[in-house]
Amino acid sequence: MRRSRTPLAAVLVLALAAIAALGGTALGSTGRHAPRAHAASKRLVGIGDENPLMFSSPEWQALHVSIARYFTAWNVATGDDPTDLFYLRSWLAAAQAAGVQPLVSFYHNDTTPEQMPSVAAYTQAMQDFVAMFPTVKILSPWNEVNRGNVREPGDSYDSPTPKEAAEYYLALKRVCPTCTIVGLDVLDSTTPSATIAYINAFKHDVGKKHMPHIWGLHNYSETNRFEDNGTKAMLRDVPGQLWLTETGGLAKLKPSFPFNLKRQARATKYMFALADSSSRIKRLYIYSWFPGGSSEFDAGLVNAAGEPRASFCAVYEHIRGKKHCPYKTVKNRPRHGRSHRGHAHR
């Protein structure tokens, strides 16, 4: 996943607007209140989006969500890329002002996306991050660790081997023993066996003594194809909790899914049904709030102008336990969003 960056000045304006609207000023906090499950479910539901303006949206506030997810470069706190650090600080400031608990997931940097860091370099970067953001306590060592073995032709990203993923997880545990760590964050595919093979290799390398009790899954493929084999396979294969750390109904994903807001809403409803299939699925992070920065990918619950789509109403009705959504939804054509993050093919 590459990010298509919003100019720094724009990010600052958005962050300050979100903070001012919500009445907060601190940077890097986990939020004022402990997350709580919604009345309609014992599961925590949140949103993943790297645009801090999300937090000041009246529609977002109407959801009453208390968790959110952000992903950033693995070396964000080292000072190698001040822009990444600025984006992260801006987002965390807005999240704190909203009383939201953040999950931060690490990923490639923009300079060398095809290279994986050494364990020593990764460990130092995690030490820098924990020292800089001591109250951010929910972390994921690497976003979509298995992307390299399920990616489509033309995807330029490399990914950790299972052994590297195990080493990153163990390094982060050593650096922050008090943190809640999502042990492995995997991307699903139309061939679930490839994802399961990666997980099993990771389990072998990490060992029983350090086996994670929280696992992450991005099950876009099944959510939008109305299937469940891969999610069920992962539940059978891993112990403990499963968090759907990134998922959602797709408004558009070229070439598989042409732009269709009605289909997106149906997929969003199925996303919740899929999550409801197991009590072990404890968290769900919907991606995204705004349309992505890519012309090929759009999973926004609102359009580029911040107007709610039918998928937003599906989310509102589910997590608020309402039979009817009071918001008028748009039926617009696709437009580029404000988010500085883009997606590759799913």
Average pLDDT over residues 210-215: 98
**pLDDT score of 343:** 40
Please determine, for residue 317, whether its predicted confidence score (pLDDT) is greater than 90: yes
* pLDDT tens digits along 81-91: 999 999 999 99
Residue 334 scores a pLDDT above 60: no
Q: In the predicted model, is pLDDT for residue 216 greater than 70?
A: yes
Query: What pLDDT is stored for residue 189 in this prediction?
Result: 81
Instruction: Give residue 47's pLDDT.
Output: 98
Q: Determine which of 31-45, 79-93, 192-206, 238-252 has the lowest per-residue pLDDT on average.
A: 31-45
Q: What is the pLDDT of residue 338?
A: 42
Domain membership of residue 346 (yes or no) is no
| Within a domain: 338 | no
Go through 237-254 and write b for each residue having 16 or more CB atoms within 10 A of its CB, e for each that does not: ebeebbbbbbbbbbbbbe
pLDDT at 207: 96
* pLDDT single digits (tens) 14-55: 555 544 444 443 443 444 455 655 544 578 999 999 999 999
Within 8 A by CB and 6+ apart from 67, the residues are 35, 44, 45, 46, 100, 101, 102, 103, 283, 285
174 confidence band (pLDDT: 50, 70, 90): very high
Q: Is 241 helix (H, G, I), strand (E, B) or coil?
A: strand
Across the chain, mean pLDDT equals: 86
Q: Does residue 223 form part of some domain? A: yes
Please state the domain count of the chain.
Answer: 1
Measured between its terminal Cα atoms, the distance across the chain in Å is 10
Classify residue 23 by its DSSP letter.
T
Does 183 map to a domain? yes
Taking Cα atoms as reference points, which of 192, 274, 194, 279 lies closest to residue 240? 279
- Domain assignment present for residue 128? The answer is yes
pLDDT for residue 119: 98
What's the confidence (pLDDT) of residue 171? Answer: 98
Does a cis peptide bond (omega within 30 degrees of 0) precede residue 258?
no
> Taking 90 as the threshold, does the pLDDT of residue 225 lie above it?
yes
**How many other CB atoms sit within 10 Å of the CB of residue 258?**
11
Q: The domain spanning residue 230 has which CATH number?
A: 3.20.20.80
Is the predicted pLDDT of residue 268 greater than 90, yes or no?
Answer: yes
The mean pLDDT of 96-119, rounded to a whole number, is: 93
pLDDT score of 307: 96
Q: Tell whether 335 is covered by a domain.
A: no
- Contact 300/309 with Cβ under 8 angstroms? yes
Where in the sequence is the domain holding 88, given as residue range(s)?
Answer: 8-320
Residue 336: inside a domain, yes or no? no
- 266 in a structural domain: yes
